[in-house]
Amino acid sequence: MNAIISASELASDLAGANPPVLLDVRWQLSMAKAAGAPPFDGRAEYAAGHIPGAVFVDLDRELASAPGEGGRHPLPDVAEFGAAMRRAGVSSGRPVVVYDGGQGWAAARAWWLLRWTGHPDVRVLDGGLARWEGPLSTEVPTPTPGDFAPAPGAVGLLDADAAAALARSGVLLDARAGERYRGEVEPIDPVGGHIPGALSAPTTDNVAPDGRFLPAGELHARFKALGAADGTEVGVYCGSGVSAAHEVLALAVAGIPAALYVGSWSEWSSDPQRPVAVGPDPQ
């Protein structure tokens, strides 16, 4: 099953006999608070207009637990996540399509969590809401509660120790911007740099200028050049397990399974016992 869906395919599916559950996960990593500006408000964006029938899902509250030792976006409590998905109308026997404002990171986080907890049919709207050509609605739906029962472990998950080991035994990709990987800047976390042995693979290089994923063949060639092919075990991390989910999604489009290190750099860099590499050299 393809992990992404085009806007035209979504419009056709919504008009079909078994329309997907639609989840709107608009979210942005914002530095606005530091500048004194109001942070991005995904719920307000949703209220101003969304794909008809879509239910808003709050990334910070429903797709993650509170920030702490596990990073800025640790895994949510599984029971609470399941309850949130059922409230949104998610059932195991009905397909789900997730979208965000266009960056794709938040939608990919929801996609990954649903896949990790065992949902068999989840796709991300390629290019997000910006690619939708149909009407928007301000009506907030009241979905029929779903029956989704999360069963964690369906796809790969890494903790810090497993990520460190994978950087030596397989391929560990760092999905952040190159300057953060090299430690030249670090606007969020306490230390700049990367996990020793990790390879720089910015998630922004997985998409075209319009925000849609590159063709599967091009993505496969990109990841193969990084060593992430031919049965090699692959993992991905970023700052807090959001943009890395987008890279795991890109790898899925390319036909390459990959595990996600959810705690990512926000967890790794908060532990002074963890080694840090800087510069372009993985080591």
Sequence-distant (≥ 6) Cβ neighbours of residue 51 within 8 angstroms:
10, 22, 24, 99, 129, 132, 134, 136, 137
> At 40, is the secondary structure helix, strand, or coil?
coil
Active site residue 238: yes
First to last CA, the chain: 37
CB 112 within 8 A of CB 250: no
CA pair distance 252, 115, nearest whole angstrom: 12
CB 204 within 8 A of CB 177: yes
Catalytic residue among 51, 238, 250, 252: 238
Instruction: List 71's β-bridge partners, or say none.
Output: 68
Q: Which residues of 145-171 are buried (b: 16+ CB within 10 A; e: fewer)?
A: ebebebeeeebbbbebeebbebbeebb
DSSP character for 213? B
Q: Could you give the residue numbers annotated as active site? A: 238
